Structure 1
Amino acid sequence: MKYSLHIRNKLLGSLRALDNWLYEGRKTTRILFIFTDSYGFSCQVPIIQALESHSNVYMRVTSEKSTPLRNIQCATAQEQEIFNRYFIGNKRATFLKWHLTLDTHLNSFYLKRNALRIGMHHGPGFGILGSKIHLVQNYDIFLGLSRAERYFLEQIKPDVFTNNRAFFAAGFPKADKLINKSADNSEIFTRLNINNKPNILITSHWQPTSTIGTFGSQVFAILAQAFPEHNIIQTGHPWLWKNHKKIEGLNPSVLIKEFQDIASQNENAYFLPYENAEELLLISDMLIADHSSIITTYCLLDKPIVWFDNPDVSFAIPEIREAYRQASNTYTQLDQLINVCQLAINDPKEKTLGREKMRHIFYANQGNAGPKAAEILMAIGSISSPHSLHWKKVIDLSNQAEHTATVNSTIKSAN
């Protein structure tokens, strides 16, 4: 029995090797995007759009599971149109030949034929609640946020990028639109029916150590009373408002009722849990946040941040916590909140240098990450296995940029 299984595996290996040989070196690179959820797909869309301008590429999108097309909902009408245009059924996709597959989440999708597995982020952060080592090690190639990310990953595991794994500092494609957006945000104000005042945006992660997990609705209530000359906008991680998530210590129905009551009692208070987070960032003049990676995104706009530096949150990479501190005015207790907010309002440029360092740590190719990622995929080309004779080309491309010197100078200047 063991001998038969050994023969079977050897035969399958030989067939896959032949399959690789037949498809490698072709002019057309075949790329499959794996849809796990709508947020992840929003991160992939700028790459798909950039690839449309390249010749010699065949791309499709499939779902992690055998989900009918009619049951898949994307974040925007434009993204839905792109998804529908390139959609291919899960079962068919597993049997077709692809050179490259691109994931935003670890998933159970399985290909019958070899392809290089490429991972990318579905959020603009690392080193906060995890180092991302476990994520990176599941892929042949990883499209990271920055050179700094590679530096930190190699500090944790020096051999994480060796001859069998490649890293490219692509950036965060989802943020391209935010950076390139025109300065006129009047349409957003009109649609949300928000008064013409400066805006303070409050966000929260979903964990018990987050702003809402720690203080409930108190931050929203306090700021609405303390800053009547500002609009106070409350949003948060989507999981906060979903009953089926069963987050420790939080009842979504109760939370929603509390926030709605505060909004109804204060003319300047707006509870907007389901609005597009990037649009809320665009119209905000100050951000109140916790350890969520949305802070890194807001640094792209170079506006003041007030950060809940919760002592109970342990950062996977201590240098990242220090970067958060240098980019923001911080508070650890609720009775410090008003004074810290006032300091940030009075001197919005005080933390400019810290925000600049955050941008260097978390965002390569600012405003151009989608086209850069597409360029990287096309440079890799029609290779479908790290055992390929052409794999060295991928490693050489990965190592062309000198990571350590650039990043070392950024980290040292941040301390």
Structure 2
Amino acid sequence: MPEKQQVSIFWFRRDLRLEDNTGLYHALKSGYPVLPLFIFDTLILDKLQDNDDPRVTFIRNAIIKLDQELQKHGSSIIVKHGTPQAAWTELLNDYDIKAAFTNHDFEPYAKTRDESIADILKTKGVELRTFKDHVIFEKNEVLKEDGKPYTVFTPYKRKWLEKLNPDFHLKAYPTEKYYNNFLQTSPFVIPGLEQLGFQSSLLTFPDREYKEVIEEYSNTRDSPALDGTSRIGVNLRFGTISIREAGYDAFHAKEKTWLSELIWRDFYAMILWHFPYSAKSSFRKEFDNIPWLNREEDYKAWCEGNTGYPIVDAGMRQLNATGWMHNRVRMITASFLCKHLLIDWRWGEAYFARKLIDYDQASNVGGWQWAAGTGNDAAPYFRVFSPDLQTKKFDPKLEYVKKWVPEFSDPFKYAQPIVDHKFARQRALNAYKVGLAKS
């Protein structure tokens, strides 16, 4: 029986790049040839509702690009399709694994998964070593003076900026110095989308130079008709761009609004880490008793962009058509679902989870709970956005609305509002008061 190859394994997840990758850097310096690994996790894939889910296409495209880079260095990425537990069991049978490396993932499922894999590896005397790569500050790195986590953004941001040492925290890991430490192997076969149970998405993915946008970000970010946001959410979500590179560019921009958005990202990741229950329940538990109406017909109208409120409908149609929605409109549509229609924020969060190509659980849950008034540092429950006022403020020429709701100009073709704003606002206030009275 041939002797097994001694290897270190680096497990790619939400860090699909070779350059400036923390865990990969440490793997390449481990003293053993590094076998790159990706697992198409059926425990995740089987829950996806659309067989053309664009994220699967995006991930596979990123893996092909990774593999092309690896082949330049005589290596390749081994791609498994199944449960992580089965994949690692196979790898332990096929290789003499000396060390296993990956980067942290903060989502509740990921934490459970990683504990399970660490236990499997431990039976063979192998440690699963994990590193910070997805955020700039994580877990307990930014805490209050009493050692407790912040739950309000502004003081968190202040402490975050005080703690930041750009020359250290935003410095790239020089992985390219160690590329000759990849395992030399003939190319592995990457399964096709059909083998994974999917078909290719027809959506186009943003592939742009974001640095030119961030200089004018504060002036353009709130206008949905403009191409004024970075559009790199999907790249940060799956790590095809390093957060340290993005943070460096944001820190050195003349205007710091975009940096603040990256700090929000760290903040919500920290909140999910410390308060994992908030992924499925109100962060502020006194809001668990809101008597949501949850009318299916209203939810369907919202999902399809047929509410009769043009800014809401434009946002939902943009989401359905492109897998992306402008951030200002995300707030408007979320507030409308929860406050105007009295539909549980978890219904909306789930729909965004299904449709957004840049879906990130921590940020999405945080944003939805903010809109619903149930989260930490959330908009007060009695703040109910007026869609008409939001339109006048952020789309005064109706360019965004007319792009996505072309029938808006014809009163005979466009849907009538499914609820009156004044009535809906009062109904929401009453419902929230009832819920709070029960807590």
TM over 0.5: no
Q: Greater relative contact order (Cα 8 A, min sep 6): structure 1 or 2?
A: 1
TM-score (norm 1): 0.31
Higher strand share: 1
